[in-house]
Structure 1
Amino acid sequence: MDIQQDYFSFLGLPESYNIDLAALSSRYRELQKTLHPDRFAHLSEREKRLSVQYTAYLNEAVTALKSPLKRAQYLLFLRGIDTVSETSVHLEPAFLYEQMELREDLEDIKKSVSPESALDSFADKVAQQLSEFQKIFSDCYAARDDESLQLAATIVRKMQFMVKLQKEIELFEYELD
């Protein structure tokens, strides 16, 4: 075990955007059993500390790889591309205008008399667009040439907008309940 490895190597999974989530969960459970600090309670302080570090790294890795957005960001990070910084990628004005319209649509749904069905339809539209971005990212990342990776970075930035909008939708759904 080495926490200097990338998440994929640490978990024994192939480096890919399209990962097997069942294999990720299975590998997590295996490593959690092996690395859990309780198994090291009777050992030296150094071994206890290492166990805690390995477990923290394992949790960090699984959290990143489970989320399609975080996984995409991490894959680009491995290629030296920052997609977390707000200024790292510039988006075209048409996309930003579309985002403003989507948020206005959500506000209109919130003000409607019966928002449930409109919200379901809106949520489906957002999920579909996010799914399309994920497919484009997967294709760009698989190509791995500089131009494709730069396009992948732009797509990740767009995915960030859509994931944030999904969270706003979920919050509104919670408020409706």
Structure 2
Amino acid sequence: MQNHFELFHLPQRFTLDTSALEKAYHEVQNQTHPDRFANATGAEKRVAMQWTTRANEAYQTLKSPFRRAAYLCELNGVALQAESNTAMPGAFLMQQMEWRETLEDARAAKDLPALEQLDSELRAARKADLLKIAGLLDAHDFVTAAQHVRQLMFLEKFGEEIGNAFAIIES
């Protein structure tokens, strides 16, 4: 079975041409669109639907830098073990604690500027982590990349918490 990169005829690496991904996705979608199978047998329609579903899943995975990084690690035999491997560097954990405290203070005080500053810091941290992950994955250091992808998972989740805090403060 083809992996997501092969499905779209793209090189199997983190750095990705998003316009090529878009184009390849639309080509696959056009080939499997239900209108093309209007007069097909039930089995042919089911196969087309399976291809459409697979293409959607592959596209969503490759479109997201976080999901693409996790997928590349797993493709290369390095499971993220996100549930069982929660060990993180001390500096990262300290940063997380500081940010959580800042978030709680900003939420309690309904301090929008503090929340915006925290969001800006988080975006910068995610961007830096993605650059680090890109270098590691493209250099085929999947074990170290997996550690950074696990960290990125925490940052993604924390970003959702910040988004929720914005929604509460702005409502």
TM-score, with structure 1 as normaliser: 0.89
Corresponding residue for residue 116 of structure 2: 120
* Residues 74, 80 of structure 2: 8 Å contact kept: yes
Are residue 66 (structure 1) and residue 63 (structure 2) matched? yes
- The runs of at least 4 consecutive aligned structure 1 residues that moved more than 6 Å come to none
Q: Is the 8 A contact 1:89 1:154 kept in 2?
A: no
Task: Note the residue ranges of structure 1 that are not aligned, 5 or more in a row.
Answer: none
Task: Quote the sequence identity (%).
Answer: 34
Per the alignment, in what secondary structure is the counterpart of residue 57 of structure 1?
Answer: helix
Q: Deviations over 1:29-71 (max 9, x none)?
A: 2221211123212111221111010000000001111111110
Q: Alignment partner for residue 75 of structure 2, among 70, 74, 78?
A: 78
Letter in 2 for 1:81: V
Paired positions, count: 170
**Root-mean-square deviation (CA), in Å?**
1.5
- Return 5+ residue gaps in structure 2 as ranges: none
- Cα distance, 1:150 vs. partner? 1.4
Pick one of 154, 157, 167 that aligns with 2:147: 154
Structure 1 residue 170 corresponds to structure 2 residue 159: no
Q: Is the 8 A contact 2:73 2:143 kept in 1?
A: no
Which TM-score applies when normalising by structure 2?
0.92
